[in-house]
Amino acid sequence: QVQLVESGGGLVQAGGSLRLSCAASGNVFSINAMGWYRQAPGKQRELVAKITSGGSTNYADSVKGRFTISRDNAKNTMYLQMNSLKPEDTAVYYCDAERGIPLQYRYWGQGTQVTVSS
């Protein structure tokens, strides 16, 4: 079992920055990959960024060059640094952790609201 707790969401002006955090606890050594997803009203949940245990990353095209995903293994915490925020970034952001290759288990955080005003 893995528990995920997100923080850092809030209201920010367009062009501003925000950093999201996701603290993992439980069977953290079993996690193969972690990522950030987001879901805007009326839209499907989409991948924002992902990082594997080996450090490989990938990003949605819409956030490349603006967002950076990172992981502090000592603190069992994942971060999403969001710069140059746009109104279209407004969504609930969810932390995700995965076990197994192929996937065996998937865990979600409760989500944190990010609102970008223009």
Instruction: List, for residues 67-97, the tens digit of each pLDDT value.
Output: 999 999 889 999 999 999 999 999 999 999 9
Cα gap 73→62, rounded to integer Å: 27
How far from the centroid of its chain's Cα atoms is residue 89's Cα? 13
CA distance 57 to 118: 30
Kindly state the average pLDDT of the residues 36-63: 96
pLDDT value of residue 80: 98
Identify the pLDDT of residue 73.
Answer: 86
pLDDT of 64 reads: 98
DSSP assignments along 12-39, one per residue? EETT--EEEEEEEEESGGG--EEEEEEE
pLDDT digits (tens, 9 = 90+) for 21-43: 999 999 998 899 999 999 999 99
